[in-house]
Structure 1
Amino acid sequence: MTETVPSRRRRGWRDWATDFGLFALAAAYGVVWLGILEEEGVPESVLFFEQILGIVGLAAIWFRRRWPVGIAIALIPLSSIGDVIDGAQLVALFTVALYRPVKTTLLVAGASMAGFATFLVVYSFVGPQPDEPLGVVVAFNAVLTFGVVGWGLFIRHRRQLVLTLEERAVRAEAEAKLRAEQSQARAREDIAREMHDVLGHRLSLLSVHAGALEFRPDAPPAEIAKAAGVIRASAHQALQDLREVIGVLRAPVAGELPTPTLADVHRLVTEASQSGSVVELRSSVSGTVPDGLGRTAYRIVQEGLTNARKHAPLAPVTILLSGSPGTGLSVEVQNPAAEASAPGAGSGQGLLGLAERAALAAGRLEYGPTADGGFRLAGWLPWPA
């Protein structure tokens, strides 16, 4: 059992009230015994000695918090030869039970009983015989001693229970705060991932058309107007997507981020085709794809198209979708080697985010260059039957 150490802080009003209360009880106990001894006709010298012992015991009460075991042991021989000091001895024993382990408390209580019994045995040979039987006196002292010990242990365990409940409350509050912070961090990661996926796709479209205008300033007015229209529409859509994501971020209550499904892959293909890219979609999916599964597949296709526009803008892109309930959903985006590569290189954060998405969905993601110099992005996602 954990030891309870007396507090070394300054005593509060409750501590002072407790000390004065115990002091008053010990003093009242001593006064009662002095009255009993006077009625029994005890000599004045013995009464004076008892009073001195009582004063010593009452003085020791004020130091019991700092040295509970030492004070209790020091009072054992004094309480064995005197009656008035017994109240102070009981207070010291109560303090031991309150602040020290049960084993230590029982040892001190046993020493107190042994000292009292030894004194009675010796006194029975050298002094007058008591009115009560020796066994009754010992039993009364044992009941009084272990009653005080039981009271102290009860208060001790009650305090420990209160401290344990307080620690649990503090720990629960800290865990709740940590869970809230982790939830906020996950929400921010989701928002950052959505911003990367959505804006990366839109901005790649803008880059393709802006590059076309830059490299072909002599294009026919109709083509320039068409490219400018696509740029304007893509920029407008990018702003709309950004507003949706920022709106979720600013909302006082967490809202839902835009959640595309697998059906929106056709819209991605249409947008890419309108930008001048050659995109072929082959789908052999049977059954209704769950929204969560379709959203992850959509992001894989979106990232594949975005990377193809960045690094191989003139290469055709093939998208393969296949799967059924029980066998899983396969998504593959591939393109051959490009005749001309776009300048610059990406950070790879999009692919890392996709790998994390697939792992969270209990799937897998593979990506890398192919033997012919192209690039392949493939993912498999579990689809329960």
Structure 2
Amino acid sequence: MAGRARKQACRPWVLDLLLGVGVAAVVSIVISANEGGRHGPEGVAYLWAVGLGALMLARRRYPVPVLAATVLGLCAYYAVGYPAIGLAVPVAAALFSAAEYARLAAAVTAAVLVTVVSVVFRLAEGQDFSFVVGYELAGHLLLMGAAIALGDSVRSRRAAQADARRIAELIAARYRQEAHTRVQHERMAIARDLHDSLGHTVSVIALHADVAREALGRDEAAARSALELIRSAAGRSLVDLRRTVTLLRSPEDQRRTVVSLANLDAVTQAAGAAGFDVDLRVDLDTPVPGPVEAAAFRIVQEAITNVVRHSAGSRVEIRVRQDEARLTLSVTDTGADARADPGLEAPKASIGHGIAGMRERAESLGGRLTADPIPGGFAVHAELPLVGPA
């Protein structure tokens, strides 16, 4: 890797060296033709060619000074009277370099200046106007314009490639952020599922553990029944936990049958065992979308858990109904009168994050949930759209 990096770092300098050698060689060949001038192709003239080529080694860092030195060197060369080397040949590389590094104005100015000075100087020396302007000028202008255009094209392509790389990096960063957000949301959903499931089970176990403790030595049948319910609740909780862990290990597994409205009997069984008269009615016309069904199941589960923990009543009504646009559910504790039993107000302060979690589930699907005291008890009502929020 280090060797490759050094090779890439040296590559621009190699290109500049080759460009400089090419400039020096072309200018030297033109000088050796010995066309015009007051002096022949002396050794000093070739030093001028080498100097113009050597300027290419600094063209990346100092494009404008290199262009200025090239123009001044050309003017000095002609002032001494060495053989003609034209206009575009010695300055084309400098014009290209200036345009390549976003010095387009400097390149155009230098080209115009060199052209004007050359034409004026040659006409002042008495050279033929039709030859200087009508024949040579167009070729020089075309070559210098091509050099400037090529340099600007290289700059534009390089900038476009840099923009494309930045856009690709931004897109990749956005995808990583979206993936991270999805993972966080999934973790939160799993945490809520585990909280609801385990919270419900622990509440049932704690309730029947008290029943078993009070029945020991007095009612062995009641104690055995309570212990059996504890064992059953713990078994269902372990099954739920295993399914959740399986889902974590295999994200493609969508079979979460435990979180289903068809399994509400397992939730209401705990309330029935705690002495509540449970009235469950589920009216579903068509299959419910998975996220909606899971949210509805967890809302009912959490509401039943709160009833088992805190209610002083004896009856729970559960209604689940589906229409074309939404799934409506309610869990109503129709127990004792709240005015006669102030303890019924306590659950609002003691149920922790239960109601907040239920409301968050409903709102995450674009629905709404209310949980308020009613005459004689407490009611949870939720409406979940069958189509998710836009």
Where on the TM-score scale, by shorter chain, does this alignment land: which range?
0.7 to 0.9
Q: The residue matched to 1:376 in structure 2 has which SS? A: strand
Amino acid at match of 1:73: A
Larger deviation, residues 216-225 vs 19-28: 216-225
SS in 2 for 1:195: helix
What are the residue-to-residue correspondences of 1:177-188 with 2, within 5 Å? Answer: 177-188=176-187
Distance 1:319 1:353 in 2: 21
User: For residue 54 of structure 1, what is the aligned residue in structure 2?
Assistant: 49
Which residue of 2 is the match for residue 6 of structure 1?
A: none
**How many residue pairs align between the two structures?**
366
Partner Cα separation in structure 2 for residue 185 and residue 29 of structure 1: 65
Give me the whole-angstrom Cα distance separating, in 1, the residues matched to 2:58 and 2:325: 78
Alpha-carbon distance between aligned partners in 2 of 1:247 and 1:31, rounded to the nearest angstrom: 79
Q: Identify the range of structure 1 (319-328 vs 157-166) with the bigger mean alpha-carbon deviation.
A: 319-328
Deviation for aligned residue 1:87: 4.2
8 A contact 2:330–2:380 mirrored in 1 = yes
Residue 329 of structure 1 pairs with residue 327 of structure 2: yes
Q: Does 1:20 align with 2:17?
A: yes
- Identify the match of residue 376 of structure 1 among 355, 376, 379: 379
Secondary structure of 1:12's counterpart equals helix
Q: Does 1:365 align with 2:364?
A: no
Partners of 1:64 and 1:11 in 2: CA distance: 18
| Corresponding position of 1:67 | 62
Q: Note closer, same or farther for the CA distance 1:323–1:346 as it changes in structure 2 (3 Å cut).
A: closer
The structure 2 residue matched to 1:354, chosen from 348, 351, 358, is 358
| 1:32 aligned residue (29, 34, 38) | 29
Structure 2 vs 1, CA of residues 351 and 142 (structure 1 numbering), >3 Å: closer, same or farther? Answer: same
CA shift digits 1:10-62 (9 cap, x unpaired): 982311221111111110121122112x2547424x85664454344233222
Question: Using a 3 Å threshold, how does the CA distance of structure 1 residues 131 and 326 change in structure 2: closer, same or farther?
Answer: closer
2:285 equivalent in structure 1: 287
Please state how far the C-alpha of 1:98 moved relative to its aligned partner: 1.0
For the residues of structure 2 that align with 1:217 and 1:345, how far apart are their CA atoms?
30
Is the alpha carbon distance of 1:334 and 1:41 closer, same or farther for their aligned partners in structure 2, counting shifts above 3 Å?
A: closer
- Does the 8 Å CA contact 1:30/1:86 hold for their aligned counterparts? no
Q: d(CA) in 2 for partners of 1:345 and 1:257?
A: 34
Alpha carbons of structure 1 residues 138 and 49: separation in structure 2 relative to 1, 3 Å: farther
Q: Cα 1:291–1:327, aligned 2, differ >3 Å: closer, same or farther? A: closer
Q: Secondary structure at the match of 1:132?
A: helix
CA gap of 1:136–1:317, structure 2 versus 1, over 3 A, is farther
Q: Do the aligned partners of 2:366 and 2:385 also contact (CA within 8 Å) in 1? A: yes
Name the residue aligned to 2:124: 125
CA offset digits 1:296-321 (Å, max 9, x no partner): 32222111001111222x42242242
Distance in 2 between residues matched to 1:321 and 1:189, nearest whole Å = 27
Q: Secondary structure at the match of 2:232?
A: helix
2:39 aligned to which of 38, 43, 66: 43
Structure 1 contact 61–88 (Cα < 8 Å) conserved: no
Structure 1: gaps of 5 or more residues: 1-8
Task: Sort the Cα spacing of 1:115 and 1:354 in 2 relative to 1 into closer, same or farther, 3 A.
Answer: same
Partner of 1:204: 203
The structural deviation recorded for 1:211 is: 1.9
2:20 touches 2:55 (CA, 8 Å); kept in 1?
Answer: no
Aligned-partner Cα distance in 2 for 1:70–1:40: 29
Match of 1:308 in 2: 307
Asked whether the equivalents of residues 315 and 339 of structure 1 are also in contact (C-alpha less than 8 Å), the reply is no
Partner of 1:214: 213
Contact 1:63 1:71 in 2 (8 A): yes
Are 2:88 and 2:141, in contact at CA under 8 Å, matched by a contact in 1? no
The AA in structure 2 aligned to 1:362 is G
> Is the 1:328–1:383 Cα contact (8 Å) retained in structure 2?
yes
In the alignment, is the contact (CA less than 8 A) between 1:77 and 1:115 conserved in 2? Answer: no
1:191 match: 190
Q: Corresponding residue for 1:3? A: none
Q: Secondary structure at the match of 2:205?
A: helix
Unaligned stretches of 5+ in structure 2? 1-5, 79-83
TM-score (norm 2): 0.82
Task: Tell me the distance in 2 between the aligned counterparts of 1:177 and 1:133.
Answer: 64
The amino acid of 2:285's aligned partner reads G
Contact 1:90 1:145 in 2 (8 A): yes
Distance in 1 separating the partners of 2:8 and 2:217: 92
Aligned-pair Cα RMSD in Å = 3.1
Contact 1:261 1:291 in 2 (8 A): no
Whole-Å Cα distance in 2 between the matches of residues 258 and 200 of structure 1?
19
Normalised to the residue count of structure 1, the TM-score between the two structures is 0.83
Q: Does 1:299 align with 2:298?
A: yes
Once residues 272 and 303 of structure 1 are traced to their aligned partners in structure 2, the CA distance between those partners, rounded to angstroms, is: 12
